[in-house]
Every structure is written in structure tokens, then in C-alpha cells.
Structure 1
Amino acid sequence: MFSSPLQRSQTIIFLLGWLAYASTYLLRKPLGVVKTDLEESLSIPKTQLGWLDTALLLPYAVMQMLLGPLGDRFGPRRTFGTCLLLSAISMATFGSWSNFWMFFFLLFINGSAQAQCWPNCIKCLGSWYPDSVRNSMFGMFGTCAFAGGIMGTSLAVYLQTSYSWRSAFFLPSIIVAILGAVVLMFFTTPEEQNVEIPGKMQSSASSKSSGNTTWLQMWKIPMLPEVAVAVFCLKVVRYCMYMWLPMYLLNALKYTKAQAGMFSTTFEIGGVLGSAVIGIVIDRYFKGRSLAGTGYSITLSAVSLLAFYLTSSWGIVFNTVFMFLAGVFNCGPDSILGGSIPNELGEMDGRNAAAAAVGLVNGFGSVGTFLEGPIIGLISAHYGWSGMFYMMIGLSGVGALAVLRALSIYNSRQGKIPLEMEEVA
């Protein structure tokens, strides 16, 4: 089945990382599913339910940026596995409590623990694959986030309806804990197995650094701030579509509730395809120009959103096509800008800071996930649905400009920075 022991190890690490990171959504999604139960059975008001979202999302964003060096210092296997176990422990008893502040505390611990899962998963995976297929690998791997979200929601709904809302957390916690233990045992790096990866550019000192790069020093890495801004813009647009598209379809386009609910998944379906395909496209057609490929994709996402809004009255067929394309081009670059590129930037010039770089980029981007709600609410209240769409189009434009700025920095420093875009023979 496998042509070599190296290919077998790469496949095992990829599948284990995919399953382990997808499982984190089993402990993120239940909160949204059981909110109605918390309101009805425990009389928790909507305002406090909103604060529970913040308890999960705020530490998830901030701790990615602040605690990223942990993975570089202690290794991705230990950090990723420990964080999975901590996340599982924090949520295992969630259904046993009835106190808002205990819910808040447990969600805060969960968000803080999960903050280090993506950066360390990416750090380990990036070490196993040659630079020539890095984008393809990360693009395929990015599908785990979308698949995990679907699995997390489905399992939570099943447990809620079959038993009760209090049962929606324990089984997912057990699954995450088991995968955390497996990660601690088997999610090794090539260095831990004394394996050399053919076709992988070796930094002169990256593996010898202790991972002590500070948060302020990370912002001084060339191109990293621009990539972080681009990811921020993409995530604000994405979560706006997740949270507001059903309401727009219902109120503005007069869809039925069933139609609005079904159609709202079109963006996510496009996201799965985009994540799987864009890395392959970039590796094949944009060799040496990864940033250019992602820039084109973000620009096309803005064009797709504009086309969707301008043709919104033309019927469900046009709505489906343009919303699907918006999902493809918005979600596609996420694993490249949030995985492949910062991973490489963190390792260049003798740094051992891949986890810190990935954490900074995704943490900064995740700030948009909890700012999106009040921003969109304010804009839509004053400027209507058109204001919301033009803001999303404008943010996509800003993201594309940020990538263009990063590309210009790369071009000006070409020959000085061995970015992965220089394919290794």
C-alpha cells in the first residue's frame, strides 16, 4: 500500500493530525446547539449567552498569539497532546453544572487550551513534507476544520435530542481525550524519529534555537504582519456569512426558513472544495509565487460577493453559484495563509518559531471572529444589508492588498529569504 516507510509515516501523521484537530470542534460546537436549552431550563438571558461565546473565542484568539512559543520550546507532540487533554477535561463536566460563572470558566479554559492545537499541528505536519508539495498538503489538511464543524454539530444535536443538553459534552470530551493520548504517543516529528525528509530546505540553525522569540519580535518578521492582516479580513468575512447569511436570505430575499437553512451551507460546501483544491493549484501553477496565488483567490472572493449581491434578485440558481464561489475563494487560502506560509516564515533565518508564527497569524485572525458580531450589527442597523455586503467586499479588498504588500516585500528581498516559494530541487 505504501511505497516506502517515509510515505507510511507521512500518511499516519497526516491522518492523526486531521482527526485530532477535527475533534476540537466536538467541544466547540455544542455550545451553539444547547443555547436554547440554557435559556429555557436555567433562565440564562441572551446577553449572558453572548458572553459565553466570548469566554470561548476571546482566549482562543489571544492565547494563540501569546502562548505560541510553547510549542517551539516543548515540541508540537507534547503541546498538542496536552492541550487536547486539557480541553477534554475542562468540558467533561460542563453538563453537570447550572451556574453561569462555572460555564464561563470552563469555556475559558477550553478556548485557552484549543488555542495551541492548530499551531502545533501545523508545526509537526510542516516538518514531514518536502517544500514542493507543502501547499497541496496544507490545503487538503484544511478540510478538517470544515468537516470537524459538521461532525461537532451533528453529534451535539444527536446527544441533545436523544438524551438531553447535559449529555452533549461528556462523550465528545472522551473522544478528544483519547485522541489527545494518541497524539502524545505517536504525533512525532522527523527529528524525533531521526528521519531526513528529501527535498526539504534545511535551515542552518532553526532546530537548535530554543523557541524564545518574543511576541513583539514576531511582528518584526518580514511579511508576517501583512499575512496576519489578510487572515483577519478573511475570517471576519467568513464568520459574517456563517452568522448572518440565513437572516439575510430570510428577510431580504424572502426564502422560507427551510430554504434559508439549507442554502446557508452553500458557502461552507464551497469552503471545503476551495481548501482541498487551492493548494494543488498553487503548487502546480504558482510555483515560486504562493502569495500571488492566494492574492488572486481573495480578489475573486470579493468579485463573487459583489456578483452575489448584484444578482441576488435573479433567483436561487444565481444565488447558489456565486455564494459557492465566494466560499471557494474565501476559505481556500486559509490553510495556506494560516498554515503553510507562517510556518515557513517562523522557521527561516535560523528561528525555531513555526508554532509561534502560526499562532500569531491565526490568533490575530481569530480576533475577527468575536468582533464580527457587533461590527456587522452596527453597520446593518445604519446602512442595511447593502452596507454589510459592501463591508465584506471592502475587507476582501484589504486582504488582497495586504497579500500584495507581502509579495512586494518578498520580491524586494528575493535571494535573502529562502521562503518555501523557492522550490527545492
Structure 2
Amino acid sequence: MEAKRTIGHNPDTIAASPPPFSLQTRMVVLTYLAYFFYYLTRKHLGVATHALTEDGFSEKLIAAVQTGYGACYAIGQFMSGALGDRIGPRIGLSLGMILSAIATLAFGIFPFVAVLAICFTLNGLFQATGWPNCCKVVTLWVSHAKRGRVMGFWLTCYIFGSLAANMIAGYILEHYGWRQVFLFTGVTVLLVGIIQGLFLINTPEDAGYSFGEDAPEIAVERGRGEGFSHMIREPAVLLLGFSYTGLKFVRYAFFAWLPYYLATAVGMSDGNSAYVSNGFEIGGVLGLLIGGIVADRFFPNNRCRLAFLALIGMVAALVVYRMSSASSGLWGNVAGLAVIGFFLYIADAIISGTAAQDIGGSGSAASAAGIINGIGSTSMLFAGMLPIAIKDRWGWDGVFVCFIILGVISSAILLPLALREKVGRAA
């Protein structure tokens, strides 16, 4: 039965009539598509790098731009989280996508060094609008009881978005050239950003509905303990952020160097190393879907407990893979990487998404998600360079020891939250 609509947007007059499932689904799907398409203007430079160097752009320049992008992305997480809670996620998402598209189109139209350096460094700020604002939309439109399984589905967008971005940019690069990569991805993201601005609705109250007794922050007075200034002083948010730093380093190091490791250390061909590395993402998709269901059913009051267990599982999987990858063959490597991805993505989804939503609630979800992801994203500055520096000094075995140590540290940081009876809305 469709929920009864309420009249007016005054929170004191809106009755306990939740939005219809179709409207909730529409908001979740809109944000899923938004974050999926963010990747088109996030990964295009990496795909086109070789072609750019052949056309006269230096490796050092592109490396500097990528480093600047990472720094802006980390800073932008904090800014976007605060603004998302203040002005609403619809404007933040739409504006961020449009600006990212303009930065991409500018280089496609004016392919000069200065345009590359300025636009793609600033693109880190524009890309940072995605995560906090998408998390806030899901927080506002999905009840606490269903949030784990919904986020388990929703978070597959950044795996599928990453894979699709690589394939689309690669196809255009091969058939039309690198300038068309930036023109196509820019136009596509521009259109998706406009769609977000036209059709996304900030809150159920804006459409005349309310979750009432199922609202995520019914015990908190409106306006009390909300916003960036409160979340940045919340110990649980900071613990999640520092725990996420090690986890995100491992994930981005795998993104950057896994095919190279498989080719140079395991001895696979370039083609097989690319295919086998997808085992990491395949395991991640399974982890997100299964982890969301398990979190809702067995850990509804403290999803951080499942994240802690997943981190322990990830460390164990890394230990086994370190010892066996060189001798386990193609399918053995696929299986080993899938197990690592399975546990890593369960922990990733809870720490950066669901736990941030649980603590931030409808008033501060964007700020909490932005702070956690902002702290975690500082590790992106080192995930490209540090693994190779360690490999040159101690070999690939040293790199995996580094991953294992970081996993243990992340687990230890998360332990105080895992031991709590409940991790929820910060008052």
C-alpha cells in the first residue's frame, strides 16, 4: 500500500508516513548512477597517460598532477561533507559533477600543459563531492534497519564504475584518440550532473513524507549535535578515519600495482595479469552484497564489529596469498585475490559508508562520511610511490609485509569501537 502523503515541510507537522518504496528506489538509483559516472572523469587521465607521453606531455608533469589531485581530493572530502550537510546533497552532487565535466572538457578542447595542470588538480576537489553527498542521500532515504543491505548493493557502483571507466576510455582511446576520451567523458558526466540537479530530492520531507518512528535520529533534537564541527570532534569518527587510512592504502596500492606484480613476480603474461587482477574486484562485489545482509541481520547495533572481523579476515588472506601466490597458478591467484577483496570491501563499506551514516544520522551523514574518507584518502598520496620504493629495497615480499602490518594497525584502531555495545547516532 502506498504511504499516505503529508502536507507541508514543517518537521513538527509531518506525520509518520514513510516514502513509497518506488520513490526510495529512485533516489538510491540516482545516486548509484551519479557515483558510477563520477569514475569516467576520475580514471580517464590514467588510461590516456601513455598516449599523452607519446604526444609530448612529460611523465613528471602527469605524476605531479596525480599527486595534486590526490591532495585536493583529501581536502575536498572535508569541505564537501560540511557543505553537503549545510546546503543539501542535491546541489553538491550536481555542481560537483558539472565542474568535473567542465575541467575534463577544458583539456579536451584546449590540450595545453597549463590547462592539464590546473584543471586536473582542481578536479580532485570536484570529485570529492561524490562520496559524502551520496552517503547523505542514502542515509536520508533508507531506514536504519535496511541500510546495511542497501549500502551493500549501492557500494558496488564504485567497482563497476571503475571497470566501466577503464573499458570506455580504453575503447575510445584505441579507436578515436586521447582528446576524444576527455570530450566524451566530459559530456557524459555533464549530462548526468544535470539530471541529478533536476530529479534528485534532498529529503523525504521535501516530498511530503517522513520515516517518523523509524527515522535514524528520533532520539536527537533537530539541530543538536549536527554538522562538521561536531563530527570532527567525535572520537568514533576519528577512529574510523584513521582505521580507514591503512585499509585505503592497501586498496589503492592493489589498483596501482597488482597487474604489474602478477606480471613481474608471478610470471604471467600482460593479458593474463590484467584478467587475473579482476579477481580482487569480483571478490569485492560478493563481499559488499553478502556483508550488507550479514551486517543488518547479525550486527544491527554495531556494524563496526563486522568490519573488525573482516579486517582480521583480510590480514589472514594476505598472509596466505603472500606465501602461495608464486606457486598457485592462474586460478589459484584468482581465488586468493577474491578472498582478499571479499574481506577488504566488507570492511571498506562499513567504515567509509554505513558506520559513517549510523554515527552522523540524517543531520551529519555527509560530514561524518567526508571526514572519514578525507582522513583515509591521505594514504592515496603514498599508494602509488611507496610500494615500489619498498619493492626496490626489500622485494615484493616486503610490500605484502607492509600490507599485513597496515591491516593489523587498522584492526587495532577499530577494536575500541568493535567492543562497544552500540555504535550509532552521536548526540
- Fold-level match, TM-score > 0.5? yes
Tell me if the contact between 2:80 and 2:132 (Cα under 8 Å) persists in the aligned partners.
no
The whole-number CA distance in structure 1 between the counterparts of 2:25 and 2:192 is 17
Tell me if the contact between 1:271 and 1:328 (Cα under 8 Å) persists in the aligned partners.
yes
Aligned residue type for 1:258: G
Structure 1: state its 5+ residue gaps.
421-425
Which residue among 243, 247, 270 is the counterpart of 2:283? 270
Aligned match of 1:227: 240
State the Cα distance separating 1:286 from its structure 2 match. 2.3
Aligned residue type for 1:334: D
Other structure's SS at 1:245 match:
helix
Matched-pair identity in %: 29
The whole-number CA distance in structure 2 between the counterparts of 1:25 and 1:207 is 35
Other structure's SS at 1:90 match:
helix
Which residue among 31, 35, 41 is the counterpart of 1:17? 31
State the Cα distance separating 1:320 from its structure 2 match. 1.9
From the superposition, tell whether residues 347 and 283 of structure 1 become closer, same or farther in structure 2 (CA, over 3 Å): closer
Say if 2:406 is the partner of 1:391.
no
The whole-number CA distance in structure 2 between the counterparts of 1:288 and 1:211 is 21
From the superposition, tell whether residues 61 and 285 of structure 1 become closer, same or farther in structure 2 (CA, over 3 Å): same
State the Cα distance separating 1:418 from its structure 2 match. 4.7
Q: For residues 248-271 of structure 1, what are the alpha-carbon distances to aligned partners after superposition, in whole Å with 9 as ceiling and x for unaligned?
A: 212221112222121111111211
Tell me if the contact between 1:85 and 1:176 (Cα under 8 Å) persists in the aligned partners.
yes
Aligned match of 2:333: 319
Counting only pairs closer than 5 Å after superposition, residues 10-409 of structure 1 correspond to structure 2 as 10-41=24-55, 43-188=56-201, 189-197=203-211, 199-204=214-219, 207-208=222-223, 213-214=228-229, 217-312=230-325, 313-347=327-361, 352-408=363-419
Aligned residue type for 1:56: Y
The whole-number CA distance in structure 2 between the counterparts of 1:397 and 1:3 is 48
State the Cα distance separating 1:45 from its structure 2 match. 2.1
State the Cα distance separating 1:29 from its structure 2 match. 1.3
Range with bigger deviation, 13-22 or 56-65: 56-65
Tell me if the contact between 1:73 and 1:211 (Cα under 8 Å) persists in the aligned partners.
no
What CA RMSD, in Å, does the superposition of the two structures yield over aligned residues? Answer: 2.1
The whole-number CA distance in structure 2 between the counterparts of 1:210 and 1:284 is 28
The whole-number CA distance in structure 1 between the counterparts of 2:302 and 2:219 is 24
The whole-number CA distance in structure 1 between the counterparts of 2:110 and 2:57 is 13
How does the TM-score come out when normalised to structure 1? 0.91
Tell me if the contact between 1:55 and 1:105 (Cα under 8 Å) persists in the aligned partners.
no
How does the TM-score come out when normalised to structure 2? 0.90
The whole-number CA distance in structure 1 between the counterparts of 2:176 and 2:418 is 53
Which residue among 14, 19, 22 is the counterpart of 1:8? 22
From the superposition, tell whether residues 37 and 207 of structure 1 become closer, same or farther in structure 2 (CA, over 3 Å): farther
State the Cα distance separating 1:191 from its structure 2 match. 2.1
The whole-number CA distance in structure 1 between the counterparts of 2:286 and 2:193 is 28
The whole-number CA distance in structure 2 between the counterparts of 1:49 and 1:24 is 20
Tell me if the contact between 1:73 and 1:210 (Cα under 8 Å) persists in the aligned partners.
no
Structure 2: state its 5+ residue gaps.
4-18
Other structure's SS at 2:334 match:
helix
Other structure's SS at 2:234 match:
coil
The whole-number CA distance in structure 2 between the counterparts of 1:64 and 1:175 is 23
Tell me if the contact between 2:139 and 2:365 (Cα under 8 Å) persists in the aligned partners.
no
From the superposition, tell whether residues 207 and 138 of structure 1 become closer, same or farther in structure 2 (CA, over 3 Å): farther
State the Cα distance separating 1:392 from its structure 2 match. 0.4
Tell me if the contact between 2:301 and 2:424 (Cα under 8 Å) persists in the aligned partners.
no
From the superposition, tell whether residues 137 and 394 of structure 1 become closer, same or farther in structure 2 (CA, over 3 Å): same
The whole-number CA distance in structure 1 between the counterparts of 2:47 and 2:393 is 30
State the Cα distance separating 1:37 from its structure 2 match. 1.4
The whole-number CA distance in structure 1 between the counterparts of 2:402 and 2:254 is 12
State the Cα distance separating 1:355 from its structure 2 match. 0.9
State the Cα distance separating 1:393 from its structure 2 match. 1.0
Other structure's SS at 1:235 match:
helix
Tell me if the contact between 2:228 and 2:368 (Cα under 8 Å) persists in the aligned partners.
no
Tell me if the contact between 2:227 and 2:367 (Cα under 8 Å) persists in the aligned partners.
no
From the superposition, tell whether residues 180 and 299 of structure 1 become closer, same or farther in structure 2 (CA, over 3 Å): same
